[in-house]
Chain A
Amino acid sequence: MKITYPHMGYSYIAFKMLINDLGYEPVVPPEPSKRTIDLGARYAPEFACIPYKVLLGTYLETIEMGAEMAISSGGVGPCRAGYYGVMHQKILNELGYDFKVFILEPPQSNYLDFIKKLKVLKPSVMSWRTFIQLIKKGYSKLEAIDEMEFLMYRFMPYEISKGDTARAFKIALDMLDQAQTEDEIEDARWECRKVMAKVPQDRSRDPLKIGIIGEIYVVLEPAVNFYIQKTLGEMGVYTDRSIWLTSYAQKNVVVEGKVGERDIHEMAHPYLNEMIGGHGINSIGEIVIYAKGGYDGVIQLAPFSCIPEIMAKGIVPRVSREEGIPVMTIFIDEQTAAAGVLTRLEAFLDLLQRRREQKTVKERLA
């Protein structure tokens, strides 16, 4: 059977391997393009959030490529992502496609259901042990990919000749893509680190530091967020983002070892005292964390009409004022133009630069 899955950053490499290992034929989803988004927007409800539209577009594109089934994650709400699967299925059926959207609900919601569903994916001739090993292997690849991406954004602002880091990252991705066994992945990971570390850097620079927060999908998918981290990196800005697919990179966020959900909620107090679904409360908590971590500013990425992020945006001015950190919100939908985003980014960087200069002047006077 030909199986596809949502495109999320560079994770497609790991999922491709996993599906292949399980004995299915992976249909690698194309990176979301104008066409993907247009396709999705045409058939999706007008006010569906952009992740929904991109996913629908991806399914339509992969159907053209022969995919018969998609595996996606569910989410337990209280947000719309948890209902994506049902709605995608209904809309694709209405369009007359015989395509199955298979939703893996996260195990917290219902363990039995999770295992039952996993069983469908497990080929009957395969033992559970092999199955679990394969999943673990997939995860370690995912982790390696996350690590390289993480390193790329760390190094970019210091690179001496523009584009070096991005090139190194590409090489690293290819190496990881080639690695097939557990050992190979581990070796490749070491090699990749070396490749990344070889990029010549000028560590004397003191770049602006920006934290990137917001809704998971638009934060994770560069093709939808206008490659914001790369763009900023090329402009010589150090960025850190709060959300990663694997916990490897997640753990490294801002202050080491202090990013448990509990802490985020504590940080969000007193600005927001309730889980509001999606990444709403995280967004608030993370602004506080970035402010305390000495960052110059924060950029909030939010799908247009995204419920939790709109709530967060409403609360942001207060957080920003009281924590003393500028925050810019970028809403993304199918009409957002790259040029507009770029202008706003430049203006924001100007503002941060000026603030920094004022601060140094003040410090010198004091």
Chain B
Amino acid sequence: MPVRVGIPRFLGYFSYYPWWKTFFEELGLEVVTSPPTNQQILNAGVAEAVNDACIPIKLYHGHVMEIKDQVDILFVPRLVKVRKFGTETFCPKFLGLPDLLQASINNLPEMLDTRVDLTRGCFELFRISRELGERFGASLSKITRAYLHACQALQGYRGLMSRGMFADDALECMEKGYKASQQKEQGSLSIAVLGYPYLVYDNFINMDIVKRLKTLGARALTVEMVSPRQLLREAKNMPKQMFWHYSNRAMHAAYYYLNRKRVDGIIHVTAFACGPDAMLDRLMEIESRRLGRMPFLTLSIDEETGTGGVETRLEAFIDMLKRRRVLE
């Protein structure tokens, strides 16, 4: 029986899953991914994690709980840095995640807490792959092949996203081998839905915001739909960069959409009591007002957010945008 590695479907998942899956499968392992977030996962996470943690961290605990007994090894990479950009790292909660799990969940299977700091050298990712591969006794040529395919898969995934697909559509597309049909989504309004990938793309926890917008006649645009190069070009708008990878990306995307006037409004999806977002959210709000009085809505998510509340707030926001449009 092949070794089963477990991948929690949360946090880094939305950014890197194709790489992980391809790589492990090429090595001959069986990849077990936790199911999409559901109420049970949420409950388990809330029960297990330190109660002052933000909801994404709790959810991650929930996903781990869901699969920990079905796998031989759990893949919980310690994501530290993925690009050289000032002092940027991931949110400190990502940095300490493996230690946190270790402290709060009993009977964990063996944990693969590979440290990912890609600023350490040009071939760092390959070095990490090699380390991972050797851990499972793969030969160098096999590792190299797996590595190349993994990088390809990730590139494909990112390509799909930059062409306007959402994470789950893009993943499905890759899974089934569809050719990406240029999705020209209909909608009279365009709205930038900004925030961390695990909030914007997890449809359970954000209460299906994308679909809701669609029924209201609005098209959602995300951070991932802007190319990294264009994002970086927006960095100059900030007097000082933030320290957190995803926060910088979200803020740069906000500037991108603001400066180009490509959207009718901005929605910031944020987790209740998220540390970095306390700063990011206010900055986005101030800048939206400053750069062309762009309508701005903060959608804060917590354990008890009712769908009702979200629905009414979204409706009111869209109504306001439509009225604004008529006036113009």
Question: Could you give, for residues 217-237 of chain A, a 1 whenever the CB lies within 8 Å of some chain B CB and a 0 otherwise?
Answer: 000000000000000000000
Within the complex, what minimum Cβ distance (angstroms) separates A45 from chain B? 4
B172 at interface by CB-CB < 8 Å: no
Bound: A261/B209 CA distance, A: 45
A48 to B277, CA, bound (A): 9
Q: Does B102 contact A (CB under 8 A)?
A: yes
Instruction: Tell me which residues across on chain B come within 8 A of A305, comparing CB atoms.
Output: 52, 273, 275, 278
Residue among B80, B243, B276 with most chain A CB within 10 A: B243
Kindly supply a per-residue 1/0 record for chain B positions 102-113, scoring 1 wherever the CB is within 8 Å of any chain A CB and 0 otherwise.
111000000000
Contact of B49 among A80, A86, A314, A318 (CB under 8 A): A314
Chain A residues 255-305 with CB under 8 Å of chain B are: 271-278, 280, 304-305
CB neighbours (8 Å) of A91 from chain B are 282, 286
Please name all residues of chain A whose beta carbon is closer than 8 Å to the beta carbon of B53 when the two chains form the complex.
Answer: 310, 314
Number of A-B contacts (CB under 8 A): 121
The reply to whether B103 and A78 contact each other, CB–CB distance below 8 Å, is no
What's the minimum C-beta distance from B197 to chain A, rounded to whole angstroms?
Answer: 19
The verdict on A175 contacting chain B, using a C-beta distance below 8 Å, is no
Q: Are B96 and A274 in contact (CB under 8 A)?
A: yes
| B239 interface residue per 8 A CB criterion | yes
Distance of A273 from chain B, by nearest CB (Å): 6
* A80 pairs with B275, CB closer than 8 A: yes
Please determine whether B276 and A86 come into contact, CB atoms closer than 8 angstroms.
no
Query: In the complex, are the beta carbons of B87 and A109 less than 8 A apart?
Result: yes
> Cα distance A310–B282 when bound, in Å?
22
| Interface pair B52/A331, CB less than 8 Å apart | yes
Given contacts A311-B100, A313-B50, A314-B50, contact A79 B243 (CB under 8 A): yes
Q: Is B93 an interface residue (CB 8 A)?
A: yes
Quick one: which of A293-332 are within 8 Å of B by CB? Answer: 304-308, 310-311, 313-319, 331
- Whether B281 is near chain A, meaning CB under 8 Å from some CB there, is yes
Contacts of A85 in B (CB 8 A): 240
Residue A49 is within 8 A (CB to CB) of chain B in the complex: yes
A111 to B193, CA, bound (A): 39
> Is B301 on the interface with A (CB-CB < 8 A)?
no
Given known pairs A276-B92, A311-B93, A311-B96, the reply for A76 and B87 (CB within 8 Å) is yes
Whether the pair A46, B100 counts as a contact (CB closer than 8 A) is no
Contact (Cβ within 8 A) B52 A310:
yes
Interface residues of A in 106-154 (CB under 8 A from B): 109
Q: Closest residue to A93 on the B side, CB-wise?
A: B286
Minimal Cβ-Cβ distance residue in B for A316: B103
| Residue pair B102, A318 in contact (C-beta under 8 Å) | yes
The reply to whether A83 and B92 contact each other, CB–CB distance below 8 Å, is no
A327–B92 CA distance with the chains assembled, in angstroms: 22
Within 8 Å by CB of A87, from B50, B89, B98, B283, lies: B283
Decide: B103 and A317 in contact? CB cutoff 8 A: yes
Name A274's contact: one of B87, B99, B238, B278 (CB within 8 Å).
B99
Query: Which of chain A's residues have a CB closer than 8 A to the CB of B98?
Result: 273
Q: Is B218 an interface residue (CB 8 A)?
A: no
Which of under 10, 10 to 19, 20 to 34, or 35 or more describes the interface residues of B? 35 or more
A355–chain B nearest beta-carbon distance, Å = 22
Select one of A87, A94, A315, A331 contacting B100, CB under 8 A: A315
B242 within 8 A of A: yes
Q: In the complex, which residues 220-239 of chain B have their Cβ closer than 8 Å to any Cβ of chain A? A: 238-239
Minimal Cβ-Cβ distance residue in A for B285? A45
Assembled-state Cα–Cα distance A275/B89 (Å): 11
**Given A45, A79, A86, A331, which contacts B92 in the complex, CB threshold below 8 Å?**
A79
Q: Does A66 contact B (CB under 8 A)?
A: no
Chain A min CB distance to B217 (Å): 31
CB nearest to A103 among chain B residues? B240
Residues of A within 8 A of B277 (CB): 47
* Chain B 234-282 residues near chain A, CB threshold 8 A: 238-240, 242-244, 272-279, 281-282
Q: In the bound complex, what is the Cα–Cα distance between A45 and B103 (angstroms)? A: 31
Tell me whether A80 and B276 are in contact (CB under 8 A). Answer: yes
Given contacts A45-B282, A47-B278, A90-B286, contact A272 B99 (CB under 8 A): yes
A78-B87, A78-B243 known; A273+B273 contact, CB < 8 A = no
CB neighbours (8 Å) of B49 from chain A are 314
A306–B100 Cα distance when bound, in Å, is 15
Are the C-beta atoms of B286 and A307 separated by less than 8 Å? no
Q: Are A47 and B52 in contact (CB under 8 A)?
A: no
B57 to chain A, nearest CB (A): 8
Q: Mark A71-88, 1 if CB is under 8 A from B, else 0.
A: 000001111101101110
Decide: A307 near B276, CB < 8 A? Known: A78-B87, A79-B92, A314-B53. yes
* Inter-subunit contact A310/B91 (CB<8 Å): no
Query: For residue A278, which residues in chain B have a CB less than 8 angstroms away from its CB?
Result: 92
- Is the beta-carbon distance between A86 and B239 smaller than 8 angstroms? yes
Q: Known contacts A47-B277, A78-B89, A82-B240; can you find 9 more A-B pairs with CB under 8 A?
A: A46-B278, A77-B87, A78-B243, A82-B243, A274-B96, A274-B99, A277-B95, A307-B91, A315-B96
- 3 nearest A-B pairs in the assembled complex, by CB-CB distance: A77-B243, A314-B50, A307-B275
6 A-B contacts (beta carbon < 8 Å): A47-B272, A48-B279, A78-B95, A276-B93, A311-B100, A314-B100
- Partner-A contacts on B (CB < 8 A): 49-50, 52-53, 78, 80, 87-89, 91-93, 95-96, 98-100, 102-104, 115, 238-240, 242-244, 272-279, 281-283, 286
Using a CB–CB cutoff of 8 Å, the interface residues on chain A facing chain B are: 45-49, 52, 76-80, 82-83, 85-87, 90-91, 94, 109, 271-278, 280, 304-308, 310-311, 313-319, 331
